[in-house]
Amino acid sequence: MSEGEYKLLGEVVTLLSGNTPSKGNKDYWGGSHLWASAKDMKTFFISSTGDSLTDEGVKDTSKIIDVGTTLLLTRGMTLVNDVPVCVTKKKASFNQDLKAVVPKDNKIESDFVPYLFLGNKRRIHSLVDLAGHGTGRLATDTLLNLEVFIPIESDRKYIISLFNSLDEKIELNRQTNQTLEQIAQTIFKSWFVDFEPVKAKIEAKQAFSSLSLRERAGVREQDMIELAAMAAISGKTEEQLKGLNDAALQQLKTSAVLFPDALVESELGEIPEGWSIRSMEELSSIVAMGPFGSNIKVSTFVNKGIPVC
């Protein structure tokens, strides 16, 4: 890939500026139109934004960019460490801290633009200066005067094909991980916050006690309680549980045994019988590295809001 030529960025791309509609006008905000800012530039593809605009808000914005447009952060604290480059998955508007990068006179493909910037990210980051209060600033005039290598068309198309497929796979994996994380959070809340398996056992006990002697014939209370807990743990109906294989059923039974069949009062409200309330400081110890030092207590993290990942 040696064929091509060096050009100034300003010869092949144009930078478009965005703006922020009045925050004081409620008619502008909370609609269905994407409005991107620095906080939305944490992934390569932008398909949703933290803030959104109404039709009225869109009319007040300076630019609406098409799907597949490259966005570049040019002002913000993030620039001290990185230069985020993202691509829109939907039409969007954006604020004044971002620039939309579009090809000039079709001299390069719009799909090639993000990879041109990513390939020169270190050089672009070296152009960042501080504008005060630790905020980074990327002067657009300086950026557009940066000399970059532009491969010939066939090589550009090869780069687009190769990296597009990789980025799409990365995005798919990210979405899958996000879905799995949401599932894990839902399960945790169900088991350890709402105590749904315990409540299911309690309801099954009550249901069994309300059965007549004739209805109890051939029904074991413990089996009924166990089945209710298994349904709560798996999110399946009791009828659906019958279609599971023996290994899956045994795993559910093992989990169901871990949950008691009664709730008792505590200082935090009702909790499962036999469970106790303990502080994080009693249950864990911290080995702190770097700027945190080595003698930080858990209470420091909790009370002062030190982020833990």
DSSP 275: -
Buried b (16+ CB within 10 A) or exposed e, 59-77: ebbeebbeebbbbbbbbbe
Task: Give residue 245's domain range.
Answer: 194-261
Q: The CATH number of the domain where 80 resides is what?
A: 3.90.220.20
Same domain, 170 and 198: no
Q: Is 189 part of a structural domain of the chain? A: no
CB contact at 8 A, 2 and 155: no
Q: CA-based angle 238:243:245, to the nearest 5?
A: 115
**CA nearest neighbour of 200 among 122, 252, 267, 138:** 252
- Does 81 share its domain with 157? yes
169 plus 71 within the same structural domain: yes
Q: What is the pLDDT along the chain (309 residues), one digit of tens a residue?
A: 568 999 999 999 999 999 999 999 999 999 999 999 999 999 999 999 999 999 999 988 768 999 999 999 999 999 999 999 999 999 999 999 999 999 998 899 999 999 999 999 999 999 999 876 778 999 999 999 999 999 999 999 999 999 999 999 999 999 999 999 999 999 999 999 999 999 999 999 999 989 888 888 888 899 899 999 999 999 899 889 988 999 999 999 999 999 999 999 998 899 999 999 888 777 777 655 555 555 555 555 555 555 655
78 and 145 co-located in one domain: yes
Residue 297 lies in a domain: no
What is the CA angle 249-251-252, rounded to 5? 65
Strand, helix or coil at 214? Answer: helix
For residue 208, being part of any structural domain is answered with yes
Q: Are strands 75-76 and 136-137 parallel, antiparallel or unpaired?
A: antiparallel
**Would you say residue 288 lies in a domain?**
no
Q: Are 53 and 198 within one domain?
A: no
94 with 222, same domain? no
Domain count, the chain: 2
CB 121 within 8 A of CB 148: no
Closest C-alpha among 50, 52, 92, 48 to residue 71? 92
Q: In this structure, what is the dihedral angle of CA atoms 274, 279, 283, 286, given to the nearest 10 degrees?
A: 160
Distance of CA 285 to CAs 57, 241, 292, 298, Å? 50, 41, 14, 8
